[in-house]
Every structure is written in C-alpha cells, then in structure tokens.
Structure 1
Amino acid sequence: MSTPHTPASLPSPTSEPGPRHARWLELFFDLVFVAVVAQLSHGLHGDPGWREFAVFLGLYFPPWWMWANLTVSANLFQDDSARRRVVMLIAMLCLAVMAAAVPEADGDRAPAYALGYAGTRLVLLALWWPATRYPAPRTLPRWRPLTYCLLSGVLWAGSAAVPAPWRYGMWVALLLAEMVLLLTARGRGIPGPVHTGHLVERVGLFVIIVLGESVLALITSTDHTWTAAAGVVAVLGFVLLAALWWSYFDFASTAAERVIGAAGTREAYLLARDVGGFLHFFVTAAVISMAAGLATAVEESGHDHLARGAVWALAGGLAAYHAAHALIALRFGRPLREVTVWALPGIGIPLLVVLGADVLAPWLVVLLLAAEAIAHLLYATTIRSRRQTAGTA
C-alpha cells in the first residue's frame, strides 16, 4: 500500500514502529544459514590451530555481513511483493553456493565463494535502489548503493580471477571498504524508523540457529561415540548451552529491545548497526566455535585430556562470548564498573581452563564451563530480582 509520501511503484518504507514479526520468507531464508554454520563449525573440529581459527572468522564474516544487511532491509521496507520474494530467493541460492564452497574456500572453491558473495551484493542493490527515488528527506543518495552494492559486487566477482594469496587480501579490502561506507553514512537516507521488536527477534532467531548447531553437534558426536563417558560430556554440554540460552533470551535480548526501542530513529539505527551487525558477529562466532569444541569433547571423552585447539574452541569461545556481551552492555550505556563485575569472571575463568588444558579431562573442562555459565545466569537473575524489589519499594 502506498503512503501520501511514497509513489505506489515503490516499496513502502516503515511508517509506524508497531509490532512486527519475521515473515515466512525470512524464516525460509534462514535455513541456508543452518548449512553455513554447520560447514564452518566442522572446520574447527579436532585440534584447530591459529590458521583454522583465522580461516573460520574470515569465511564467516561475509555471509554474516550479508545476513545483517538483508535483515535491516527487511526491517525498513514493508514489501512482500513477488519481486522481493524472487530477489530474496536468489540471495538464498547465492549463499547456498557460498556454504557449499566453505570447506575449500581457501583453496580450489574460492572462486565459487567469491561469485556467491558477489551475487548477494547485487541482490542488495535491487532491494535498496527504490529508496533512491523517495521524496526528501528520505531520499538515499544514489552513489551509496552504487558503491556499497554494485561496485562491491563487481569487484568481488573480479576477485574470482585473482590468484591466491592476493585474492584474500582483496576480500579483506573490499569488506573494510563496505564497513567504512556504512560507518560514514551514520544513518542518513534511512527511509523510516527501525522496528525494534522485529530486529531483536531476527537476531534472536540467528542465535537460536547457532545454538541449534551446538545441540546437533552434541547429538551426532554422541551417536559416533556411544559410551557412558561420551554421554556424560554430552549432558554437561547441553547444560552449558541451556544456561547460555536462558541468559541470552532473559537478559541480552530484552535489554536490546528496551534500549533500542527507547532511542530515536537515527540512534536506533546506529545501535542496531553496532550491536546487531558488528558485535553479534562475535557472539554468534563464539557459539559456533563452542559447537565444534563440544563435538570434539564428546568424541574424545575417553582421553586423558582434550587437544589444546579443542579447548581453545570451547573455552576460548565462551570467553569471547562474554567479552562480546560486555561490549554490547557498554554500547548500551551501562557503567564500566557494573559490566566489569560479571565480565572479568566470564572471560577469566574460561581462559584459566585453557591454561589447564593439558591436565583436565574432557568432562571436567565442560563441567567447569557449564558451572561458570550457570553462575553467570544466577548472578544476573539475582541482580534483576534486587532491582525489581527496589523498584517496587
């Protein structure tokens, strides 16, 4: 439906910040990320070294970045036309190509990975180009989608013909250029207010995807290693994931909805960009890493200790998870002293577990991390109860 300020031929920008939920197309679109996450997590199984971790982060960021961009476009435009559906399905196909290329994306399948990402940039151009025809003040300067989407897509496609290792340097440079363009825009040209509930829901659904991969890793690894010791490690791993789920959706997502919802249009967009686009990359990457570490812990449950790379994937992942949430809390304006109280133990205890990797049995590693996650949850619950009691008084 057109608005008095928008021609009928253009997708309607959001005009009311009322309740919105993810559409069926968005949920279908997320299925391709189940494959992306599974492929990336598999690359960290066993005893990964620094190269494997670097490749993991490097290959995870482009699909995550595209997911964040497409999520924002769905948030800002209320458009369920056939055109948009076809465009989103094309993006899904491009990301599926990237997922299939992940196992050898640092080798023979790099051209396919680059071409898949190039296709998603062109999809993004198709979604944002109509915003360049909105009447002022909602008009988006045409040079931004032409550079951010079209030029980037052309250069990514061109990188498929560039030999390694120069190809990977080109990827890094292009991603940095995209981020610079986004940061310098500072919300100018945004066609309407951010639907906070929809955005928080979408990010939460992605967190569910990575937690789901962790649960699946526990189940499949237990199936491969059907022993009592593997069962103990799997149960402890599930307790760890359950505590993370509980704390995230009781505290992190509710805080995001409250803070972003109370902000003005541009500030809400900037908060969504920083927290949902940048910092949640580290939140979700940490959980994917933990999924790989948990799978290895189950498979090596009969050993005296875990390989150090597996402990880094698991305990280091938990430390990174807490560090990312500490940065999110600071971005939301929480006092440094308040954040430090829970962030330091949340980061320090997993790192101490890494130091003891050579003497800790797999079940003990997972037990200590699960105990830390439970303590973290209990602390947050206690603080909230005290604040609620004080507010009532």
Structure 2
Amino acid sequence: MKKWLKSPELRIGEDKEEERHATWLELFFDLFFVVAISEVVHNLSRDVSLSGFLGFLLLFVPIWWSWIGATFYANLFDTDDLGHRLLTAFQMVAVAALAVNVHDGLGKSSAGFALAYTAIRVLLVLEFLRAGQHIVKARPLTTRIVKGCGLGTLVWLVSAFVPMPLRFEFWMLALTLEFGTVLTAGKSVHIELAPHASHLPERFGLFTLIVLGETVLAVVNGVAQQQWNLSSAWAAMFGLSIAFSLWWLYFDNLGGSAIQAARACRCIGAYQTWVYMHLPLTIGIATTGVGVKHVVLSNPDLVLPSAERWLICASLALCLLTLGVIYLTGLSINAGLRCRARAGYRFVAATVVLFLAVAGVGLSPTELIGLIAVVCAVQIILDLRQVTSFL
C-alpha cells in the first residue's frame, strides 16, 4: 500500500541522473495526443490556405502546450503513485474531450475546446500544488507555475462564455500569460531545477515520432484515395523518403547537451531554445505531412497549385530551419565544429526549399516532391560524410 500512497519527490539532481525512460503511463497518455493531433491536421487538410494555417496554429499550440505541462511535471516530480495516476487519468479524459472539439474548434465547438483545455490546466495546477506542498526546494517553481498557469486558465474559462471572434483573442492572451510564466522564471529556477537530461529528450523524441506518424499516415491516405499509377507511386515514395529524412536528421542528433549546459555553464539560453524550438519543428512536420498528402492527391499531369506548393515548401523549410537552431544549442558543451556545420547545412537546405516555392511555379507535383526529397537526402549524405571525416 505504501507504493500507492507516496508523495511527489524531486526526480532530478546529481544523485538521480541515471538513465531514465518514459513510463508506461506516459506512453499511454501520449496516445490521447495522437488523436488530438490527427484531428487538427485533418482540419488543415480541409483548408489549405493562410487562414486555414492560422487556424491550425491556434488549435495546435494549446495541444502542444498541454503535453508540455504534463511532460515537465512528470520529468521533475513523477513517483507513479496513486494520486499522480488518478490526476493523469482525468487529464486523459480532458485531452479526449479536447480532441472531440478540435474538429470544429474554431466554430461551434470552440467553447467546448476552451472548457476541455481549462480542465487540463486545472488538473496540472493541482499536480504542481501537490508537489509544492511536499518539496520545499521546488516551491519557487511550483508557486510560479500555479499563479501564472492559474491566471491563464481563468482567461481560458472566461473565453468559453465570450462571443467569437473575441474568444480567440482571449485564447492568445492566455497562452501569452502561460508561456511568459515559464520563460521569465529566471536562472535560479531553471538551473536549480533543470530537467532530467535523458528522460526529457526521450519524451520530446516520442512526441516528434507522433507527428512524423501523421506524415506517414498522410502518404498512405493520399495513395488510398488516388487511382494507383506510376506517378502516384513515385510521389508516395518521395513522401515517405521525406519523412524518413526528417526522422534521421532529428534523431541522429537528439541528446541532452542543452540541458547539461544549463547545469554545467549556468546558461539557460541554449536549454530554453532547445525546448521551444520543438514547437515550430512539430508544426513544420505536421504541415509537411498535409502538403505531402495534397501532392500525392494532385493530378500528376497538371502544375501543382500555389497553395499546395507553398504549404509543402514552407513547412519543410521551417523544419530544416528549426533543426539547424536546435543543433546550435549543443555548441556550449558538445563539439562545436560539428554542430555548427550541420546547422549550416540545414539553413542552406531551407533556403533551397524556399527557392523551390518561388521558382517551382511550372513544376508538376511529382517533380516538386522529387526535388524536395533529393534536398533532404543530400542532408543525410552530408552528415554521413562529416562523421567519416571526424573518424
């Protein structure tokens, strides 16, 4: 019985930095976000336009932020006790409600979306309150989270009863408050309570896999809805190769060096950059999947429409750009030359892909996605050559 009635405890520190992996509960929790992300990606697929993309952002960011809150709590305080399991179970229900309301989250379901998100944040506040009661060292952080997150949650709650489109302005205000609470916490909090250097990268990697899975699903759905022919086969192969390249470029450079730098160099800039660059990265991966699907579904004998061309090119360029920035966060503690070189490769590749968005007006869908796939494959080749030169 003692196992289930434990209090939260600090899971980080010099004496607790052994290899640590995600728990089964965390992996189960992620499944609920698979559904939510699938729904919001489907929304963008129905409206490939600037307004559709902005609507996608307004729904995707709260989903990502919900996952971040739960992940950081588990990273710092998870003892897998009965209280944590029950609060996580309630969060799962709230995330499921969030997914249900995403389909028309900017329309008639927007109030339901706001209330579901409010429930997620209330449960997170309760978890941090509980941790603060038992861990004196963590109280500066837990108190800050409870106040900032609590204020943002209140704004979300009020937004459910405010007419549209003013409701969405409340959402942006609430997200600004919540992001600002963490970003302005200061060195004393971020360095003293820097997250676990092996657990957190694994958790971010798992979320990235979820979003990459949407790209694979997009290719499969696109082919399933298309009459099978040589052009669609080539487009599908190129789409899968893009997903594989993104997997390679991210996971071949995944590590906790930015977190270690926060402790060793008392520098939180690299650590915060590493964390928050994952937001545009996952946005880019998700929207790249939508772009790939539309390329596969396009008539191979016609020029790819500009909206689809810009979606896939700009999305992939965003992925490559953020990957480059993420590599640079390893400069403060890793081999700086290798990180800097790989970041340079990504920045050049992002520029090339954006050039294709401008200059590829006359390209067919298969030609465009083929060129993009080649740009991604070249990145892998450059990385492999660099590894060989360092040996």
**What TM-score does the superposition give when structure 1 sets the normalisation length?**
0.89
Partner of 1:344: 347
Residue matched to 2:205 = 204
Q: CA deviation at 1:197?
A: 1.1
Q: Secondary structure at the match of 2:140?
A: coil
In the alignment, the residues of structure 2 paired with residue 339 and residue 11 of structure 1 have an alpha-carbon distance, to the nearest angstrom, of: 40
Q: Partners in 2 of 1:150 and 1:348 — Cα distance? A: 41
- The 4+ residue runs of structure 1 with deviation greater than 6 A are none
Using the alignment, how far apart are the partners of 2:330 and 2:220 within structure 1? 36
Cα 1:48–1:141 shift into 2, 3 Å = closer
Following TM superposition, by how much is the alpha carbon of 1:327 offset from its aligned partner in structure 2, in angstroms? Answer: 2.0
Q: Which moved more, 1:295-304 or 1:372-381?
A: 295-304
Q: Does 1:216 align with 2:214?
A: no
AA aligned opposite 2:20: R
Question: What percentage of aligned pairs have identical amino acids?
Answer: 27
Alpha-carbon distance in 2 for matches of 1:349, 1:140: 46
TM-score in terms of structure 2 length: 0.89
Q: Tell me the equivalent position of 1:13.
A: 10
Aligned pairs (5 A) from 1:121-270: 121-134=121-134, 136-140=136-140, 143-186=143-186, 188-189=188-189, 192-228=193-229, 229-251=231-253, 253=254, 256-261=255-260, 263-264=262-263, 267=266
SS at match of 1:88: helix
Instruction: Tell me by how many angstroms 1:85 deviates.
Output: 1.1
Q: CA deviation at 1:65?
A: 0.9
Residue type of the alignment partner of 1:220: N
Letter in 2 for 1:328: I
Q: Take 1:340 and 1:198, find their aligned partners in 2: how far apart are those partners?
A: 24
Q: Does residue 1:294 correspond to 2:292, yes or no?
A: yes
Q: CA deviation at 1:337?
A: 6.7
CA distance in 2, matches of 1:44, 1:303: 25
- The equivalent of 1:355 in structure 2 is 358
* Corresponding residue for residue 39 of structure 2: 39
* 1:13 maps to amino acid: L
Q: Which runs of 5+ in 2 are unaligned?
A: none
Residue 320 of structure 1: which of 315, 318, 321 is its match?
Answer: 318
Could you tell me whether the CA contact under 8 Å between 1:159 and 1:167 is conserved in 2?
Answer: yes
CA positional deviation for 1:133: 2.5
**Does the Cα contact within 8 Å between 1:307 and 1:357 map onto a contact in 2?**
no
Q: Kindly indicate whether residue 41 of structure 2 is the aligned counterpart of residue 25 of structure 1.
A: no
Shift of 1:48: 1.5
Q: Give the aligned length.
A: 379
Alpha-carbon distance, 1:274 to partner:
3.2
2:328 matched residue in structure 1:
330
1:308 matched to 2:306? The reply is yes
Deviation at 1:270, TM superposition (A): 6.2
1:305-325: per-residue Cα shift (whole Å, max 9, x none)? Answer: 222221222111110001112
* Matching residue of 1:364: 367
Question: Distance in 2 between the 1:46 and 1:104 partners?
Answer: 12
> Which residues of structure 1 form unaligned runs of 5+?
3-7
Q: Which stretch has the larger CA shift, 331-340 or 225-234? A: 331-340
Give how far 1:143 is off.
4.4
Return closer, same or farther for 1:99/1:38 CA change in 2, 3 Å cut-off. Answer: same
Alpha carbons 1:13, 1:76 under 8 Å: kept: yes
> Aligned partners of 2:61 and 2:135: how far apart in 1?
34
Residue of structure 2 equivalent to 1:384: 387
Secondary structure, counterpart of 2:163 in structure 1: coil
Specify the code of the residue in structure 2 equivalent to 1:129.
L
Cα distance change, pair 176–158 in 1 and its aligned pair in 2 (3 A)? same
Cα distance per residue 1:103-134 (max 9 Å; x no partner): 21111111011001101111111211123234
Separation of aligned partners in 2, 1:67 and 1:268? 25
Higher RCO structure (Cα 8 Å, ≥6 apart): 1
* Secondary structure of 2:256's aligned partner: helix
> Deviation digits for residues 261-286 of structure 1, max 9, x if unmatched?
3541895876544322x110111110
CA contact (8 A) 2:257 2:330 kept: no
Q: Indicate the residue corresponding to 2:274 in structure 1.
A: 275
Output the CA distance in 2 between the equivalents of 1:142 and 1:368: 49
**SS at 2:362 equivalent:** coil
Partner of 1:5: none
Q: Secondary structure at the match of 1:140?
A: helix
Counterpart contact for 1:301–1:363, Cα < 8 Å: no
Matching residue's letter, 2:226? T
Query: Match of 1:221, as an amino acid?
Result: G
Aligned residue type for 2:319? Y
Could you tell me how far 1:185 is from its partner in structure 2?
A: 1.1
Distance 2:206 2:117 in 1: 22
The residue aligned with 1:52 is 52
Taking structure 1 as reference, are residues 90 and 273 closer, same or farther at Cα in structure 2, changes over 3 Å only? farther
Distance in 2, matches of 1:94 and 1:272, equals: 29
